[in-house]
A = this chain, B = another copy of it.
Amino acid sequence: MKCRRCRGQAVIELRRHNSSFCKDCFFDYLTNQVTLAQEKQKMFSREDRVLVVVSGGKDSLALWEILLGLGVNAWGLHINLGIDEYSQKSEKSVRNFAENYDAELLITNIKDEHGRGVLDIASKTTRTACSACGLIKRYLFNKVALEKGFSVVATGHNLDDEAASLLGNVLHWKEGFLGRQSPVLPSVHPKLARKVKPLFRLTERETAAYCILKGIDYLKEECPLVKGSTSLHYKEALNLLEQKSPGTKHSLYFGFLKKRAVFEPPQLNLKECLRCGQVTTDETCAFCRLLSEVESKTRVSKERIC
């Protein structure tokens, strides 16, 4: 198997591109895809301070490493979700990376700040663990970006994530989500940073291979709470189709980006949360409502015990 670019010994085959690459050309390919994503979608400029949300997995660490390599002013933000050993390993993986790359890292810990981990919180509400986790992470990265003056928040969502999310939105024709699904969400309020997904042109197999070949020590373990989630089913179905017809995920997501204008983006009436001041469409934000739900459930339980 020869490298498509230099004809050297290839280390990876990318069926959807009908290409193979040697190690160095694969690094170039990957970095070029991120540059292309950034330039075409106008994700950020040299002036932007970028907050990279890093879980400690392959995607977020690959993203942080690439952005640092491109000279982007990219700080890491790790949100410790309080999922026992898994969260300890995640934080350790992020700390190691920051130390090795001499990168600036911010850490916030849900258990320290709110007294409970994500599973404990979710179990006291009607949300699934993944739904509560997503809500908490979005709230916290917006909050940190605002407090620390970051104009852009970057997440490690890759093509598999975006295609799976899109498939879910299409299977249930969630028009609001379809209207705003994009690799870039512009800032719609002075208190909200722009959200970008610079890895949307790359698959998870590619970011994993990048980390391995670069010697980035990422956490291989999957979050224990994700098992059985619908997003995994969507990924499974897409993997089946991708195997039969390489390029299916790319076609689904990139085709959508061309057509997405047909879906109306939702009209948002943004306010500031009466409780915490963060941006919301309601009187209080979803995060504060989640905490209220937990508090009231806990109160009821305590009263029952008394």
Q: Is the CB of A233 within 8 A of B244?
A: yes
14 CB contacts below 8 A, A to B, read A171-B255, A172-B251, A173-B252, A173-B256, A173-B258, A173-B259, A230-B244, A233-B244, A233-B245, A234-B241, A236-B240, A237-B237, A237-B238, A237-B240
A13 at the interface (CB under 8 A from B): no
A217 at the interface (CB under 8 A from B): no
A171: nearest residue on chain B (CB-CB)? B252
A248 at the interface (CB under 8 A from B): yes
In the assembled complex, the Cα of A252 lies from the Cα of B234 at a distance in Å of 13
A198-243 with Cβ < 8 A to chain B: 230, 233-234, 236-238, 240-241
A262 at the interface (CB under 8 A from B): yes
A252: nearest residue on chain B (CB-CB)? B171
Residues of B within 8 A of A252 (CB): 170-173
Residues of B within 8 A of A244 (CB): 230, 233
A263 at the interface (CB under 8 A from B): yes
A175 at the interface (CB under 8 A from B): yes
A245 to chain B, nearest CB (A): 7
Q: Is the CB of A233 within 8 A of B241?
A: yes
Residues of B within 8 A of A259 (CB): 173, 175
In the assembled complex, the Cα of A244 lies from the Cα of B175 at a distance in Å of 23
Q: Is the CB of A170 within 8 A of B173?
A: no
Given A171-B251, A173-B259, output 18 extra A-B contacts at Cβ < 8 Å: A170-B252, A171-B241, A171-B248, A171-B255, A172-B252, A172-B255, A173-B252, A173-B255, A230-B245, A233-B241, A233-B244, A234-B241, A236-B240, A237-B238, A237-B241, A240-B240, A262-B262, A262-B263
